[in-house]
């Protein structure tokens, strides 16, 4: 029975992800996200099923849901599974708030596994690189405007 429940959860979550993938409209435009979707993703983070947990973390990052920052930070800090911690770090990087980036930065120093620390360092360095590019782009446009 436990096996059947896990399979059912994976199938439902896959259908949920596919609904985002094949939805009509421009993928770049901002869609309204229902409260039910947010709650389902947050519940998925609490699952014992690794696929559901990491998939939920991924979608929270893609949708940039600020409500998922605290649960993702808890996973990054406390989960025993490396893959879950890496998925949480990636989602926090994608959300890119000061608090989420700080959590990724702290994992570089404090996570006991080298793989997790290294990937967190990659995420943090990419964040800094993007921030630098944005600053340079702003400075370039300012210089053009002054001329």
Profile the chain (147 residues) by mean pLDDT over runs of 10 residues.
59 57 52 90 96 97 96 97 97 97 96 96 95 67 39
In a domain, 117, yes or no: yes
pLDDT value, residue 146:
39
pLDDT value, residue 93:
97
Q: How far from chain centre, in Å, is Cα 4?
A: 28
In a domain, 97, yes or no: yes
In a domain, 112, yes or no: yes
In a domain, 15, yes or no: no
The domain that contains 127 carries what CATH number?
1.25.10.10
In a domain, 26, yes or no: no
Number of domains in the chain: 1
In a domain, 100, yes or no: yes
pLDDT value, residue 110:
95
d(C-alpha 133, C-alpha 131), whole Å: 5
How many other CB atoms sit within 10 Å of the CB of residue 20? 14
Beta carbons within 8 Å of 44's beta carbon, 6+ residues apart: 13, 52, 53, 55, 56
| CA terminus-to-terminus distance, the chain | 71
pLDDT value, residue 134:
77
pLDDT value, residue 136:
64
In a domain, 12, yes or no: no
Q: Which domain holds residue 71?
A: 34-146
In a domain, 69, yes or no: yes
Q: Dig out the tokens for 32 from the structure.
A: 């309204």
């Amino acid at each position: 029975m436990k096996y059947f429940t896990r399979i059912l959860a994976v199938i439902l979550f896959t259908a949920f992800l596919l609904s985002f993938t094949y939805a009509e409209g421009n993928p770049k435009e901002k869609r309204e996200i229902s409260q039910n979707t947010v709650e389902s993703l947050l519940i998925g983070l609490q699952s014992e099923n690794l696929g559901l947990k990491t998939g939920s973390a991924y979608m929270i990052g893609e949708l940039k849901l600020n409500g998922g920052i605290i649960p993702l930070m808890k996973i990054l800090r406390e989960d025993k599974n490396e893959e879950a911690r890496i998925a949480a770090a990636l989602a926090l990087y994608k959300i890119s708030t000061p608090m989420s980036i700080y959590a990724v930065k702290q994992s570089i120093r404090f996570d006991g596994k080298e793989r997790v620390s290294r990937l967190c360092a990659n995420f943090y360095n990419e964040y800094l690189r993007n921030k630098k590019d944005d600053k340079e782009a702003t400075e370039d446009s300012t210089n053009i405007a002054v001329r």
